[in-house]
Structure 1
Protein backbone atom coordinates (compact mmCIF):
# COMPACT_ATOMS: atom_id res chain seq x y z
CA UNK A 1 0.00 0.00 0.00
CA UNK A 2 1.26 3.48 -0.92
CA UNK A 3 0.41 6.46 1.28
CA UNK A 4 -0.73 9.95 0.12
CA UNK A 5 -3.43 10.68 -2.46
CA UNK A 6 -2.77 9.22 -5.90
CA UNK A 7 -5.01 10.62 -8.66
CA UNK A 8 -5.63 8.72 -11.91
CA UNK A 9 -3.31 9.74 -14.73
CA UNK A 10 -0.84 11.59 -12.52
CA UNK A 11 2.90 10.94 -12.53
CA UNK A 12 5.03 10.88 -9.42
CA UNK A 13 7.75 9.27 -7.37
CA UNK A 14 7.20 6.57 -4.75
CA UNK A 15 9.74 6.74 -1.93
CA UNK A 16 10.19 3.93 0.64
CA UNK A 17 8.48 4.30 4.01
CA UNK A 18 11.17 4.35 6.71
CA UNK A 19 9.09 2.53 9.32
CA UNK A 20 8.39 -0.26 6.84
CA UNK A 21 12.12 -1.05 6.64
CA UNK A 22 12.53 -0.74 10.43
CA UNK A 23 9.70 -3.21 11.06
CA UNK A 24 10.22 -5.66 8.18
CA UNK A 25 13.91 -5.29 7.20
CA UNK A 26 12.87 -5.18 3.52
CA UNK A 27 14.61 -2.82 1.09
CA UNK A 28 12.75 -0.78 -1.51
CA UNK A 29 13.90 1.44 -4.32
CA UNK A 30 12.49 4.77 -5.47
CA UNK A 31 10.37 4.47 -8.61
CA UNK A 32 8.84 6.88 -11.11
CA UNK A 33 5.30 5.80 -12.03
CA UNK A 34 2.13 6.88 -13.79
CA UNK A 35 -1.09 6.03 -11.94
CA UNK A 36 -3.28 3.70 -13.98
CA UNK A 37 -6.99 3.04 -13.69
CA UNK A 38 -6.47 -0.23 -11.81
CA UNK A 39 -4.68 1.61 -8.95
CA UNK A 40 -1.87 -0.97 -9.01
CA UNK A 41 1.60 0.37 -8.24
CA UNK A 42 4.50 -2.06 -8.81
CA UNK A 43 7.17 -1.95 -6.10
CA UNK A 44 10.53 -3.69 -6.08
CA UNK A 45 11.28 -5.15 -2.65
CA UNK A 46 14.41 -7.04 -1.56
CA UNK A 47 14.58 -9.26 1.51
CA UNK A 48 18.04 -8.74 3.05
CA UNK A 49 17.54 -11.36 5.76
CA UNK A 50 17.58 -15.15 5.64
CA UNK A 51 14.00 -15.42 6.91
CA UNK A 52 10.68 -15.37 5.11
CA UNK A 53 8.84 -12.06 5.48
CA UNK A 54 5.06 -11.56 5.39
CA UNK A 55 3.61 -8.20 4.35
CA UNK A 56 -0.03 -7.91 5.33
CA UNK A 57 -2.63 -6.15 3.23
CA UNK A 58 -2.94 -2.48 4.11
CA UNK A 59 0.70 -2.08 5.16
CA UNK A 60 2.07 1.31 4.06
CA UNK A 61 5.24 0.58 2.10
CA UNK A 62 5.91 3.93 0.46
CA UNK A 63 4.87 7.55 -0.01
CA UNK A 64 3.73 8.99 -3.35
CA UNK A 65 4.82 12.49 -4.40
CA UNK A 66 3.46 13.89 -7.69
CA UNK A 67 5.89 15.57 -10.12
CA UNK A 68 5.44 17.73 -13.22
CA UNK A 69 6.01 16.09 -16.57
CA UNK A 70 8.34 18.97 -17.52
CA UNK A 71 10.69 17.93 -14.71
CA UNK A 72 11.13 14.41 -16.13
CA UNK A 73 13.99 13.75 -18.56
CA UNK A 74 13.88 10.70 -20.79
CA UNK A 75 16.98 8.50 -20.90
CA UNK A 76 18.09 5.49 -22.89
CA UNK A 77 20.44 2.68 -22.03
CA UNK A 78 23.24 4.37 -24.00
CA UNK A 79 22.85 7.76 -22.32
CA UNK A 80 22.79 6.58 -18.73
CA UNK A 81 25.44 8.31 -16.63
CA UNK A 82 27.64 6.36 -14.23
CA UNK A 83 26.19 5.77 -10.80
CA UNK A 84 27.09 8.63 -8.47
CA UNK A 85 29.40 7.66 -5.63
CA UNK A 86 27.60 7.89 -2.30
CA UNK A 87 28.99 10.06 0.48
CA UNK A 88 29.91 7.87 3.44
CA UNK A 89 29.20 9.49 6.85
CA UNK A 90 32.32 10.54 8.75
CA UNK A 91 31.91 7.94 11.51
CA UNK A 92 31.77 5.12 8.92
CA UNK A 93 34.73 6.08 6.73
CA UNK A 94 37.13 3.90 8.70
CA UNK A 95 34.85 0.88 8.26
CA UNK A 96 34.55 1.64 4.55
CA UNK A 97 38.33 1.79 4.11
CA UNK A 98 39.04 -1.40 6.07
CA UNK A 99 36.51 -3.46 4.11
CA UNK A 100 37.82 -2.50 0.65
CA UNK A 101 41.48 -3.49 0.81
CA UNK A 102 41.25 -6.49 -1.54
CA UNK A 103 38.23 -5.50 -3.64
CA UNK A 104 37.86 -4.30 -7.20
CA UNK A 105 36.62 -0.80 -8.01
CA UNK A 106 33.11 -2.09 -8.75
CA UNK A 107 33.03 -4.09 -5.54
CA UNK A 108 34.15 -1.06 -3.53
CA UNK A 109 31.24 0.96 -4.86
CA UNK A 110 28.85 -1.81 -3.85
CA UNK A 111 30.34 -1.90 -0.34
CA UNK A 112 29.96 1.87 0.00
CA UNK A 113 26.36 1.62 -1.20
CA UNK A 114 25.65 -1.14 1.32
CA UNK A 115 27.22 0.81 4.21
CA UNK A 116 25.35 3.95 3.16
CA UNK A 117 22.03 2.11 2.95
CA UNK A 118 22.41 0.61 6.43
CA UNK A 119 24.23 3.57 8.01
CA UNK A 120 21.50 3.82 10.63
CA UNK A 121 22.56 0.45 12.07
CA UNK A 122 26.01 1.68 13.10
CA UNK A 123 26.67 3.48 16.38
CA UNK A 124 27.82 7.07 15.88
CA UNK A 125 29.38 7.29 19.34
CA UNK A 126 29.57 5.41 22.64
CA UNK A 127 26.29 7.08 23.65
CA UNK A 128 24.43 6.01 20.50
CA UNK A 129 22.53 2.95 21.77
CA UNK A 130 20.08 1.30 19.41
CA UNK A 131 16.91 -0.50 20.38
CA UNK A 132 14.41 -2.86 18.79
CA UNK A 133 10.64 -2.86 18.69
CA UNK A 134 10.41 -6.48 17.55
CA UNK A 135 9.71 -7.85 21.02
CA UNK A 136 8.82 -6.56 24.49
CA UNK A 137 10.65 -8.29 27.32
CA UNK A 138 8.55 -9.76 30.12
CA UNK A 139 9.69 -11.43 33.35
CA UNK A 140 7.39 -13.99 34.92
CA UNK A 141 7.84 -14.31 38.70
CA UNK A 142 6.21 -17.13 40.60
CA UNK A 143 5.93 -15.17 43.86
CA UNK A 144 4.09 -11.82 43.59
CA UNK A 145 5.94 -10.43 46.63
CA UNK A 146 8.68 -8.02 45.46
CA UNK A 147 12.31 -8.58 46.36
CA UNK A 148 13.79 -5.53 48.05
CA UNK A 149 17.46 -5.70 48.98
CA UNK A 150 19.37 -3.02 50.92
CA UNK A 151 22.07 -0.94 49.28
CA UNK A 152 25.64 -2.12 49.63
CA UNK A 153 28.37 0.17 50.83
CA UNK A 154 30.11 1.83 47.89
CA UNK A 155 33.72 3.06 48.20
CA UNK A 156 33.95 6.85 48.13
CA UNK A 157 36.27 6.83 45.10
CA UNK A 158 33.67 4.83 43.10
CA UNK A 159 30.67 7.05 43.77
CA UNK A 160 31.54 9.52 41.03
CA UNK A 161 31.77 6.63 38.55
CA UNK A 162 28.31 5.45 39.56
CA UNK A 163 26.88 8.95 39.11
CA UNK A 164 28.47 9.17 35.66
CA UNK A 165 27.03 5.77 34.64
CA UNK A 166 23.55 6.65 35.90
CA UNK A 167 23.57 10.06 34.21
CA UNK A 168 24.71 8.49 30.93
CA UNK A 169 22.04 5.77 30.99
CA UNK A 170 19.33 8.29 31.85
CA UNK A 171 20.39 10.37 28.84
CA UNK A 172 20.43 7.30 26.56
CA UNK A 173 17.00 6.17 27.76
CA UNK A 174 18.36 2.88 29.11
CA UNK A 175 16.94 3.57 32.57
CA UNK A 176 14.37 5.91 34.06
CA UNK A 177 13.44 7.13 37.56
CA UNK A 178 11.29 4.55 39.35
CA UNK A 179 9.37 4.09 42.61
CA UNK A 180 9.11 0.31 42.15
CA UNK A 181 8.90 -1.97 45.19
CA UNK A 182 11.64 -4.10 43.62
CA UNK A 183 15.23 -3.15 44.48
CA UNK A 184 18.59 -4.84 43.82
CA UNK A 185 22.09 -3.60 44.73
CA UNK A 186 24.58 -2.06 42.31
CA UNK A 187 27.86 -3.84 41.54
CA UNK A 188 30.81 -2.22 39.74
CA UNK A 189 32.99 -4.69 37.81
CA UNK A 190 36.45 -3.66 36.64
CA UNK A 191 37.09 -4.58 32.99
CA UNK A 192 40.40 -5.54 31.38
CA UNK A 193 40.88 -2.08 29.88
CA UNK A 194 40.60 -0.45 33.31
CA UNK A 195 37.09 0.94 32.85
CA UNK A 196 34.13 -0.19 34.93
CA UNK A 197 31.00 -2.09 33.98
CA UNK A 198 27.83 -1.02 35.77
CA UNK A 199 25.99 -4.16 36.92
CA UNK A 200 23.07 -5.02 39.17
CA UNK A 201 22.98 -8.10 41.41
CA UNK A 202 19.66 -9.67 40.43
CA UNK A 203 20.36 -13.08 41.96
CA UNK A 204 17.61 -12.76 44.59
CA UNK A 205 15.09 -11.66 41.96
CA UNK A 206 16.22 -14.40 39.57
CA UNK A 207 15.30 -17.05 42.13
CA UNK A 208 11.65 -16.06 41.65
CA UNK A 209 11.87 -15.96 37.87
CA UNK A 210 10.33 -18.76 35.83
CA UNK A 211 13.10 -20.16 33.63
CA UNK A 212 12.19 -21.02 30.04
CA UNK A 213 13.95 -23.74 28.07
CA UNK A 214 15.02 -22.85 24.55
CA UNK A 215 17.07 -25.31 22.47
CA UNK A 216 20.31 -23.74 21.26
CA UNK A 217 21.78 -24.87 17.93
CA UNK A 218 24.72 -27.27 17.98
CA UNK A 219 28.09 -25.70 17.26
CA UNK A 220 28.99 -28.37 14.69
CA UNK A 221 25.71 -27.74 12.83
CA UNK A 222 26.46 -24.01 12.75
CA UNK A 223 29.95 -24.70 11.37
CA UNK A 224 28.49 -26.99 8.69
CA UNK A 225 26.29 -24.13 7.48
CA UNK A 226 29.42 -22.04 6.91
CA UNK A 227 30.82 -24.59 4.47
CA UNK A 228 31.91 -22.95 1.21
CA UNK A 229 31.73 -19.41 2.59
CA UNK A 230 34.80 -17.27 1.87
CA UNK A 231 33.93 -13.95 3.53
CA UNK A 232 32.91 -13.40 7.14
CA UNK A 233 31.87 -10.43 9.24
CA UNK A 234 31.48 -9.88 12.96
CA UNK A 235 28.63 -8.23 14.81
CA UNK A 236 29.37 -6.57 18.13
CA UNK A 237 26.74 -4.92 20.29
CA UNK A 238 27.65 -1.41 21.35
CA UNK A 239 26.48 -2.15 24.88
CA UNK A 240 25.01 -5.48 25.93
CA UNK A 241 25.48 -8.25 28.42
Structure 2
Protein backbone atom coordinates (compact mmCIF):
# COMPACT_ATOMS: atom_id res chain seq x y z
CA UNK A 1 0.00 0.00 0.00
CA UNK A 2 1.38 3.41 -0.97
CA UNK A 3 1.71 6.04 1.78
CA UNK A 4 -0.85 8.86 2.07
CA UNK A 5 -0.19 11.91 -0.04
CA UNK A 6 1.84 14.64 1.67
CA UNK A 7 0.15 17.67 3.17
CA UNK A 8 0.70 20.81 1.10
CA UNK A 9 1.61 23.94 3.09
CA UNK A 10 0.90 27.10 1.07
CA UNK A 11 3.11 30.16 1.64
CA UNK A 12 1.92 33.40 0.04
CA UNK A 13 3.96 36.26 -1.34
CA UNK A 14 4.36 39.88 -0.25
CA UNK A 15 1.20 41.95 0.29
CA UNK A 16 -0.92 38.79 0.09
CA UNK A 17 -2.35 36.41 2.67
CA UNK A 18 -3.79 32.93 3.00
CA UNK A 19 -6.89 34.31 1.23
CA UNK A 20 -5.08 34.30 -2.13
CA UNK A 21 -5.19 30.49 -2.28
CA UNK A 22 -9.01 30.36 -2.20
CA UNK A 23 -9.24 28.74 -5.64
CA UNK A 24 -5.99 26.78 -5.36
CA UNK A 25 -6.96 24.86 -2.23
CA UNK A 26 -9.95 22.99 -3.72
CA UNK A 27 -7.93 22.21 -6.87
CA UNK A 28 -5.29 20.50 -4.71
CA UNK A 29 -7.86 18.83 -2.49
CA UNK A 30 -9.52 17.37 -5.59
CA UNK A 31 -6.24 15.50 -6.21
CA UNK A 32 -6.31 14.04 -2.71
CA UNK A 33 -4.03 16.45 -0.86
CA UNK A 34 -4.64 17.88 2.58
CA UNK A 35 -3.80 21.59 2.48
CA UNK A 36 -3.00 24.37 4.96
CA UNK A 37 -2.45 28.01 3.96
CA UNK A 38 -0.50 30.25 6.33
CA UNK A 39 -0.74 33.98 7.02
CA UNK A 40 2.79 35.41 7.25
CA UNK A 41 3.65 37.93 9.99
CA UNK A 42 5.08 40.33 7.36
CA UNK A 43 1.54 41.26 6.28
CA UNK A 44 0.13 41.58 9.79
CA UNK A 45 0.55 45.37 9.73
CA UNK A 46 3.40 45.27 12.26
CA UNK A 47 6.46 47.22 11.12
CA UNK A 48 9.84 45.60 11.72
CA UNK A 49 8.74 42.05 10.95
CA UNK A 50 11.57 40.22 9.17
CA UNK A 51 12.07 37.20 6.94
CA UNK A 52 13.35 35.35 10.01
CA UNK A 53 10.01 35.97 11.75
CA UNK A 54 8.13 34.70 8.70
CA UNK A 55 10.34 31.61 8.35
CA UNK A 56 10.04 30.77 12.06
CA UNK A 57 6.26 30.90 11.80
CA UNK A 58 6.12 28.67 8.72
CA UNK A 59 8.55 26.26 10.37
CA UNK A 60 6.25 25.98 13.38
CA UNK A 61 3.36 25.07 11.08
CA UNK A 62 5.46 22.53 9.18
CA UNK A 63 6.68 20.92 12.41
CA UNK A 64 3.14 20.65 13.74
CA UNK A 65 2.28 18.49 10.73
CA UNK A 66 5.47 16.46 11.04
CA UNK A 67 4.67 15.79 14.69
CA UNK A 68 1.37 14.30 13.52
CA UNK A 69 3.36 11.86 11.35
CA UNK A 70 2.38 13.63 8.15
CA UNK A 71 4.74 14.18 5.28
CA UNK A 72 4.92 17.75 3.98
CA UNK A 73 5.52 19.60 0.72
CA UNK A 74 5.73 23.38 0.88
CA UNK A 75 4.39 25.36 -2.09
CA UNK A 76 5.60 28.97 -2.01
CA UNK A 77 4.80 31.98 -4.18
CA UNK A 78 7.04 34.97 -4.97
CA UNK A 79 8.47 36.48 -1.73
CA UNK A 80 7.44 33.26 -0.01
CA UNK A 81 10.15 31.27 -1.80
CA UNK A 82 13.04 32.15 0.52
CA UNK A 83 10.68 32.01 3.52
CA UNK A 84 9.57 28.45 2.78
CA UNK A 85 13.11 27.36 1.95
CA UNK A 86 14.35 28.70 5.29
CA UNK A 87 11.45 27.08 7.13
CA UNK A 88 12.32 23.55 6.00
CA UNK A 89 16.08 23.72 6.44
CA UNK A 90 17.31 20.63 8.29
CA UNK A 91 13.99 18.80 7.96
CA UNK A 92 14.72 16.74 4.84
CA UNK A 93 14.97 13.51 6.84
CA UNK A 94 12.13 14.34 9.23
CA UNK A 95 9.20 14.16 6.86
CA UNK A 96 9.58 17.13 4.54
CA UNK A 97 9.33 15.69 1.05
CA UNK A 98 10.32 18.88 -0.79
CA UNK A 99 9.81 22.49 -1.78
CA UNK A 100 7.94 23.82 -4.82
CA UNK A 101 8.51 27.46 -5.80
CA UNK A 102 5.68 29.02 -7.81
CA UNK A 103 7.19 31.90 -9.83
CA UNK A 104 9.10 32.59 -6.63
CA UNK A 105 12.41 34.16 -5.69
CA UNK A 106 15.37 31.85 -5.10
CA UNK A 107 17.99 33.69 -3.06
CA UNK A 108 21.11 32.42 -1.28
CA UNK A 109 21.17 32.45 2.49
CA UNK A 110 22.89 35.53 3.92
CA UNK A 111 22.08 37.72 0.94
CA UNK A 112 21.51 41.36 1.95
CA UNK A 113 18.30 42.16 0.13
CA UNK A 114 18.35 45.73 1.40
CA UNK A 115 21.75 46.36 -0.17
CA UNK A 116 20.56 44.95 -3.49
CA UNK A 117 17.44 47.13 -3.43
CA UNK A 118 19.43 50.22 -2.51
CA UNK A 119 21.88 49.54 -5.36
CA UNK A 120 18.86 49.39 -7.68
CA UNK A 121 17.76 52.80 -6.44
CA UNK A 122 14.76 51.34 -4.65
CA UNK A 123 11.73 49.50 -5.95
CA UNK A 124 10.08 51.74 -8.56
CA UNK A 125 6.77 49.92 -8.26
CA UNK A 126 6.44 50.49 -4.49
CA UNK A 127 5.77 53.38 -2.12
CA UNK A 128 7.74 53.33 1.13
CA UNK A 129 6.45 54.17 4.64
CA UNK A 130 2.84 53.94 3.48
CA UNK A 131 0.29 53.63 5.09
CA UNK A 132 2.60 54.18 8.07
CA UNK A 133 6.29 54.14 8.92
CA UNK A 134 7.92 50.79 8.24
CA UNK A 135 5.20 49.50 5.91
CA UNK A 136 4.90 49.79 2.15
CA UNK A 137 2.50 49.22 -0.72
CA UNK A 138 2.60 48.49 -4.44
CA UNK A 139 1.71 51.56 -6.51
CA UNK A 140 -0.45 49.80 -9.10
CA UNK A 141 -1.10 46.19 -8.10
CA UNK A 142 -3.94 45.83 -10.61
CA UNK A 143 -1.50 46.23 -13.50
CA UNK A 144 1.38 44.44 -11.76
CA UNK A 145 0.15 41.22 -10.16
CA UNK A 146 -2.65 40.06 -12.42
CA UNK A 147 -1.99 40.52 -16.18
CA UNK A 148 -2.37 38.89 -18.58
CA UNK A 149 -4.57 35.99 -17.48
CA UNK A 150 -6.49 36.76 -14.28
CA UNK A 151 -10.15 37.45 -15.02
CA UNK A 152 -11.56 40.85 -14.06
CA UNK A 153 -13.87 39.36 -11.42
CA UNK A 154 -10.95 37.69 -9.65
CA UNK A 155 -8.88 40.89 -9.84
CA UNK A 156 -11.72 42.87 -8.27
CA UNK A 157 -12.04 40.22 -5.57
CA UNK A 158 -8.31 40.23 -4.79
CA UNK A 159 -7.53 43.95 -4.84
CA UNK A 160 -9.19 44.98 -1.53
CA UNK A 161 -7.61 42.00 0.23
CA UNK A 162 -4.00 43.09 -0.39
CA UNK A 163 -2.24 44.21 2.79
CA UNK A 164 0.68 46.51 3.63
CA UNK A 165 4.02 44.70 3.76
CA UNK A 166 6.74 45.13 6.39
CA UNK A 167 9.65 47.02 4.83
CA UNK A 168 12.07 45.16 7.11
CA UNK A 169 11.02 41.85 5.54
CA UNK A 170 12.11 42.99 2.09
CA UNK A 171 15.11 45.08 3.15
CA UNK A 172 16.73 42.51 5.44
CA UNK A 173 18.99 39.48 5.33
CA UNK A 174 17.84 36.23 3.72
CA UNK A 175 17.83 33.38 6.27
CA UNK A 176 19.84 30.17 5.67
CA UNK A 177 18.25 28.25 2.79
CA UNK A 178 17.31 24.57 2.53
CA UNK A 179 17.78 24.51 -1.24
CA UNK A 180 21.52 24.92 -0.66
CA UNK A 181 21.65 21.58 1.20
CA UNK A 182 22.56 18.39 -0.67
CA UNK A 183 19.74 16.59 1.15
CA UNK A 184 17.19 18.39 -1.02
CA UNK A 185 18.76 17.63 -4.41
CA UNK A 186 15.98 16.33 -6.66
CA UNK A 187 13.36 17.41 -4.11
CA UNK A 188 13.09 20.99 -5.31
CA UNK A 189 10.49 22.10 -7.82
CA UNK A 190 10.04 25.32 -9.75
CA UNK A 191 6.87 26.29 -11.63
CA UNK A 192 7.90 28.99 -14.09
CA UNK A 193 5.36 31.47 -15.47
CA UNK A 194 6.33 32.85 -18.85
CA UNK A 195 4.28 36.09 -18.81
CA UNK A 196 5.09 37.15 -15.23
CA UNK A 197 5.56 40.94 -14.91
CA UNK A 198 6.81 40.82 -11.31
CA UNK A 199 9.55 38.21 -11.77
CA UNK A 200 10.24 38.10 -15.52
CA UNK A 201 10.81 34.65 -16.96
CA UNK A 202 14.51 35.35 -17.63
CA UNK A 203 15.03 36.16 -13.96
CA UNK A 204 13.15 33.01 -12.94
CA UNK A 205 15.41 30.95 -15.18
CA UNK A 206 18.57 32.74 -14.02
CA UNK A 207 17.71 32.11 -10.36
CA UNK A 208 17.09 28.40 -10.93
CA UNK A 209 20.30 28.11 -12.98
CA UNK A 210 22.26 29.87 -10.25
CA UNK A 211 20.77 27.54 -7.64
CA UNK A 212 21.95 24.33 -9.28
CA UNK A 213 19.78 24.17 -12.38
CA UNK A 214 18.13 20.98 -13.58
CA UNK A 215 20.45 18.82 -11.49
CA UNK A 216 18.70 20.10 -8.35
CA UNK A 217 15.33 21.39 -9.57
CA UNK A 218 12.33 19.77 -11.26
CA UNK A 219 10.99 22.49 -13.56
CA UNK A 220 7.44 22.83 -14.94
CA UNK A 221 6.27 25.64 -17.22
CA UNK A 222 2.92 27.45 -17.33
CA UNK A 223 2.96 29.08 -20.75
CA UNK A 224 1.38 32.53 -20.87
CA UNK A 225 0.77 32.71 -17.15
CA UNK A 226 1.31 35.90 -15.20
CA UNK A 227 2.30 36.25 -11.55
CA UNK A 228 -0.94 34.94 -10.03
CA UNK A 229 -1.68 31.49 -11.47
CA UNK A 230 -3.35 30.48 -8.20
CA UNK A 231 -6.15 32.79 -9.36
CA UNK A 232 -6.02 32.27 -13.12
CA UNK A 233 -4.97 28.62 -13.46
CA UNK A 234 -5.42 26.76 -10.18
CA UNK A 235 -6.06 23.40 -11.85
CA UNK A 236 -2.94 23.73 -13.99
CA UNK A 237 -0.92 24.61 -10.88
CA UNK A 238 -2.37 21.59 -9.08
CA UNK A 239 -1.46 19.32 -12.01
CA UNK A 240 2.09 20.71 -11.99
CA UNK A 241 2.33 20.12 -8.23
CA UNK A 242 1.18 16.53 -8.74
CA UNK A 243 3.84 15.91 -11.41
CA UNK A 244 6.58 17.42 -9.27
CA UNK A 245 5.51 15.53 -6.13
CA UNK A 246 5.61 12.28 -8.14
CA UNK A 247 9.25 13.03 -8.94
CA UNK A 248 9.96 13.78 -5.28
CA UNK A 249 8.38 10.47 -4.29
CA UNK A 250 10.57 8.62 -6.77
CA UNK A 251 13.67 10.21 -5.22
CA UNK A 252 12.82 8.97 -1.73
Q: TM-score, normalised by structure 2?
A: 0.21
Structure ID, larger Rg = 1
Higher relative contact order (CA 8 A, sep 6+): 2
Query: Could you say which structure has the higher helix fraction?
Result: 2
Q: TM-score, normalised by structure 1?
A: 0.21
